[in-house]
Amino acid sequence: MVGIIAAMDVEIQALKKRMTCVDEKVIKNIEFTTGKLSGVDVVLCKSGIGKVYAAISTTILIDEFKPDYLINIGSAGSLKSNIRVGSVVIPRVIAHHDCDVPGWPKGFDQDKRAYKADESLLNVAYKLKDDNTYFDPMVSGDSFIYLKSQTTKILEDYNEAGCCEMEGASV
């Protein structure tokens, strides 16, 4: 089974419409939809916005459904000019940009607050990519990033980041 997590309805509706054998369940106020997607058993989870909701939802999804793989999907803000609306960004690594602990290193090449993607899933994604698919590092934080000063600060510490979003590092 594959677990797919998204924060908002709008991020999972297209997948729900393509599913067959659908069953919906609410556990601890979190929505889960099980069924088949292209013949594969999946469970979709609408986590809610932010790292806390993502962590809670991920824990419940793993405990209740025991997926073989877990995929986080959704919207993100671009930090690079070549990544535009409609681009697909698959992070090779994702880090908490808003975790500030004295003595912990910043950047993607460390293990205190950065998490690498599963190589087998990346290999599948590489085979399916097109000209609008990017494999860039990504950052995650609990703030909506919309000011130039915010992106400047993020890029000072995570200069390779392609996007910023709000749940992925917690998943």
| pLDDT confidence of residue 71 | 94
Provide the whole-model pTM.
Answer: 0.89
* Cα 1 → chain centroid: 18
| pLDDT confidence of residue 117 | 92
Residues 6+ apart with CB under 8 A from 170: 51, 52, 54, 55, 58, 96, 140
- The string of DSSP letters for 1-40 reads -EEEEESSHHHHHHHHHH-EEEEEEEETTEEEEEEEETTE
Name the one residue in this structure whose structure tokens are 């990017």.
Answer: 134
Which backbone phi and psi does 43 adopt, to 5 degrees? Answer: -130, 120
| pLDDT confidence of residue 105 | 78
What is the rounded CA–CA span in Å between residue 51 and residue 121? 22
Which backbone phi and psi does 154 adopt, to 5 degrees? Answer: -60, -45
Name the one residue in this structure whose structure tokens are 């070549």.
Answer: 82
- Sorting pLDDT into bands at 50, 70 and 90, what band is 61? very high
What is the rounded CA–CA span in Å between residue 51 and residue 1? 23
What is the rounded CA–CA span in Å between residue 32 and residue 57? 9
Residues 6+ apart with CB under 8 A from 52: 142, 170
| pLDDT confidence of residue 101 | 82
| pLDDT confidence of residue 37 | 95
- When pLDDT is averaged across residues 129-155 and rounded to a whole number, the result is 93
And the tokens for 167?
Answer: 């749940």
Decide the pairing of beta strands 88-89 and 40-46: unpaired
